[in-house]
A and B are shown apart, each in its own frame.
Chain A
Amino acid sequence: MDTPIQPSLAQNIPALPELSRKDFVPPNEVRWCPGCGDYAILNSLQRTFPELGVPRENFALISGIGCSSRFPFYMNTYGFHTIHGRAPCVATGVKIANPDLSVWIITGDGDGLSIGGNHLLHLLRRNININVLLFNNRIYGLTKGQYSPTSPVGTKTKTSPSGSFENPLNPVLFALGAEATFVARTVDNNPKHMVETFKAAHQHKGISFVEIFQNCVIFNDATWDSVYAKENRDEQMLFLETGKPLLFGKNKSKGIRLNGLTPEVIDAASAAPGEILVHQPGQAGPLYSHLLATMGEPDFPTPMGIIRQIEKPTYETLMHEQIAQAQAKRGTGTWQELLHGNATWTVA
């Protein structure tokens, strides 16, 4: 006979209502330009959320300023459209205040890496359990087309009519530099890969940083086509799978091997056993993840998927542990203790 295990506990777990994509679609209209890559990302996140087992009221989307930062208005969850570059600050406060919330920062290359670069750096290094989706379209869209910190050298815009000569920032390398514990990359034209990546980001305990290659149809159209257009994607993208060799190309005919500390592209068929690198995102050391992060056009395919994932204690856990320890040692504080302090004297 089966004995019910801990019936009281079972009773206390409320059944989660079945959620579907439409539960996350708010009534207001979406106001991105027709054809914007943001639509596909929105759609993928609306498909991801019902599958996470999180009650709808426990999602909080926090954004800064920019086209991507309008995102919270298009998700039927709690949302806070804050100020330029500062979403990580507000999101940190939200997560500390209620660690049960699933907190998502929606940012862009300008918002996250230019005006908000300092906050993003500290958010990543603190390893707070928040998910960051950085929409990288390599342009300032909302202000109608100026080069961004990720724009390639030579990008011609209204503020760089002769071509930008600034060295662009690599978002993945930035995240790795801050020792983020989960770093991934995905693309706006692959919904399946986006959903998988978003789910993995959610499941990771700690900071999750996801760069999304996103197209700006108006001011920087086709910026990623050399990587992800149908005719280029086989040769130019390397989809990472844990424990699998780094293979790409039509029919996975090419692989990546190390020559000393330098990666090389080789013909997979003629590779010796074990010659091709095997994807190990859990490596704590920086070498492998940095190697992946620096791969890309023109000599290498651009890695897609989870580049690094390691476990470390989270910021909010450590913070609340300290509070719990203080309470275990000193109680939860009394008025007497607060008002009187350590030394008082009485005047009769």
Chain B
Amino acid sequence: MSDSTPGFREMKSVVIRFAGDSGDGMQIVGERFTDTSVTVPNSIATFPDYPAEIRAPVGTIGGVSAFQVHFGSSKVLTSGDAPDALVAMNPAALAVHLPDLVLGGLLVVNTAAFTEDNLKMAGFTSNPLDDPSLGEKYILIALNITALALEALKESPLTNREKLRCKNFLALGFMFWVYSRPIEPTLDYIQGKWEAKLPDLAAANAAVVKAGYFLGETSELTIERYRVARAVVEPGIYRKISGNEATALGLIAASRRSGRDLLFSGYPITPATSVLETLAGYKHFGVTTVQAEDEIAAIGIALGGSYTGKLGATATSGPGMCLKSEFIGLAITTELPLVIVNIQRGGPSTGLPTKTEQSDLLQAMYGRHGESPLPIVAANSPSDCFAAAFEAARIAIQYSTPVILLTDGYLANGSEPWLVPNESTLPDISKPFADESKPYVAFARDPHTLARTHAIPGQPGLEHRIGGLEKNEKGAISYDAETHSLMTTLRAAKVAGIAKDLPPMNVIGERNGKILVLGWGGTHGAITSAVATLRSEGHAVSGSTLRHLNPLPADLADLLAGFEQVLIPELNNGQLNVLIRANYLVDTLSMPKVQGQPFKISEIRARILELLNA
């Protein structure tokens, strides 16, 4: 394969943002561009950014929906800092997203939408397309996308209104042309989705995609076209997966490897709902899903399932976590396995339902009454949610404890190619229930893990009572001072002891030096990209992302001690920073961001450079 083709400009990676009204179909267009790019193959990451309102008034700023896709020939770990290209389907989309477009970037606008009313709703006093500076700052392609779509469909039997709804595919086809992507995967998709039931719509969408592509071919646009070479990716079988899908599949995989059917109970809440939706489609895997009456019931039903020998799990987001805290306490004191997934969003209260944040770490650590430690696991990327969910379930079962899995809105909705694991790489995580031939002691513990053995209803001869009251090691209710002290210590020691069974941390770079960038969860991509790039430029910086937040890994103390400075970027006001300082007495540097948006690589890079040059 040649690295350069005449007429094309080679790019290592490109970020495109499709933006329009929430009814304009920007999410579907972004998804199509992604699915096409993964087959090239390119390394890829996406970020859907949509309003909390399902349909805000058409044309308003509040109704703008966007989908960003970042694809490259080398490893892409984030959805990209700033778009190299912006497709703005209306003035509101332009108003919201133009400030992010890189200077000199490609700007495609649908001129038909720049009406007086729409301009007014977007807050423009004059038409920005009339401002010559727009074309000076950006490569402006002003297309009457609406008219072009109608023209392409003049033979179609669809109504005018239906035809207008196809215009997003025209923009898509045009962008395929600009970035030298094949249109066949999209034509196949259209065929599969609509041909059987709505053949006219299938034909129309296909015609419009082609029209968009050929527009580039036949018009006399004097713009450069771009190529992004195939990425060198690890050989294997890939699929595209979003964070919430990966979480769901990780739970099912854990169910299979533990020999316990999954009982998942949830209550609809953004951005967690699609975990419940996904799992509802896996009934044939023995998965039971319950849409509970509220967040409290959701965790209670899952806990009832765990108590009866299933793998109980629930997923929610911030406000839902607040409601679940009393049940989490019950699961802690009864020492029952349970996976609680918190797909973090901006808070407090209803906060920013569709925006990402990492501000529930200290809630996960401490958000219950009493001394109530539990293990916390965090996912690093959309596809990593699979491994993280599996790990959360493993710990829950092996250590008989509730576990909180932290993901976030960015991971949940973002998607990326996933090198599908072979099932043989997934360990056996089964744990036997109590032996019916022996006397049962409810809170007798495994000497290594300190986990208790669980007898489930239906096991003859092991009838016993458990509950939220303090109990002694035999399981009998006890309010003795010594018993309470001992049981509190044992519960804490069990959780703390998980650290000795964890593998060493993954570190990019040396384990000592000038600067360590330490992160957790969804900031992994930005931190890793910034650190890897700086290292390739010869800078002495190392990076690591925590998978386990409680207990913290056993080798973290030494790692922290090996660096002159430790920088902790996180999407909150410094919560991991507090934990690290409290646990290790290290004078760390916090790098907080609370804007409902993920870190840009450039932000972290700039801060590291600042420290290096200080």
B161 at the interface (CB under 8 A from A): no
User: Of B58-66, B147-155, B207-215, B300-308, which binds chain A?
Assistant: B300-308
Q: Is A20 an interface residue (CB 8 A)?
A: no
The 8 Å CB contact of B309, one of A92, A97, A119, is A97
User: How large, as a class, is the contact surface on chain B?
Assistant: 35 or more
Q: What CA separation (Å) do A180 and B107 show in the bound complex?
A: 61
Q: Which listed residue, A78, A327, A347, A348, touches B284 by the CB 8 Å rule?
A: A327
* Contact present for B460 and A96 (CB under 8 Å): no
Decide yes or no: A335 and B263 within 8 Å by CB, A81-B468, A326-B284 being known contacts.
Answer: no
B34 to chain A, nearest CB (A): 12
Residue of A nearest to B236 (CB): A347
B285, A57: Cβ atoms closer than 8 Å: no
1/0 contact string of B295-338 vs chain A (CB within 8 Å):
01101111111111110100000000000001101100010000
For residue B235, CB closer than 8 A to chain A, the reply is: yes
Binds B, one of A143-151, A195-203, A266-274, A338-346: A338-346
Is A248 interfacial (CB 8 A cutoff)? no
Contact of A57 with B460 in the complex, beta carbons under 8 Å: yes
Chain B: interface secondary structure?
mixed
A93 partner, pick from B300, B326, B461, beta carbons under 8 A: B300
Which residue of the partner chain B has the closest CB to A325? B283
A174-B168 Cα distance, complex, nearest whole Å: 52
- The answer, among B263, B297, B326, B330, for a CB contact under 8 Å with A97, is B263
Q: What's the Cα separation between A101 and B310 when bound, in Å?
A: 14
B171 within 8 A of A: no
Known: A81-B465, A339-B253. 17 other contacts (CB 8 A): A56-B460, A57-B459, A86-B296, A86-B300, A92-B290, A93-B265, A93-B303, A93-B308, A118-B294, A319-B288, A326-B284, A330-B284, A335-B423, A339-B421, A340-B239, A346-B238, A347-B41
| B609 CB to nearest chain A CB (Å) | 34
With known contacts A92-B304, A347-B236, A80–B467 Cβ distance under 8 A: yes
Determine whether the beta carbon of A101 is less than 8 Å from that of B237. Answer: no
| A77 and B304 contact, Cβ closer than 8 Å, known pairs A323-B288, A326-B284, A343-B240 | no
Q: Does B611 contact A (CB under 8 A)?
A: no
10 cross-chain pairs, A with B, having the tightest CB-CB distances, nearest first: A93-B304, A89-B300, A81-B467, A97-B308, A333-B285, A79-B465, A90-B304, A122-B293, A326-B283, A78-B457
B309 pairs with A57, CB closer than 8 A: no
**Chain B positions within 8 Å of A62 at CB level:** 304
Whether B292 is near chain A, meaning CB under 8 Å from some CB there, is yes
Per the bound structure, the CA–CA distance linking A343 and B239 in Å amounts to: 6
- Indicate whether A210 reaches chain B with its CB closer than 8 angstroms: no
Given contacts A89-B300, A96-B263, A330-B284, contact A57 B461 (CB under 8 A): yes
Which residues in A have their C-beta under 8 angstroms from that of B308?
Answer: 60, 93-94, 97-98, 101
Which A-chain residue is minimally distant from B253 (CB atoms)?
A338
B477 within 8 A of A: yes
The smallest beta-carbon distance between A201 and chain B, in angstroms, is: 19
The A-contacting residues of B in range 35-53, CB under 8 angstroms, are 35, 38-39, 41
In the complex formed, the residue of A with least CB distance to B283 is A326
10 contacting pairs across A/B (C-beta < 8 A): A59-B457, A73-B477, A78-B465, A83-B326, A96-B304, A333-B286, A338-B252, A338-B282, A339-B420, A343-B240
Could you tell me if B462 and A57 are in contact, using CB atoms closer than 8 angstroms? yes
B464 at the interface (CB under 8 A from A): yes
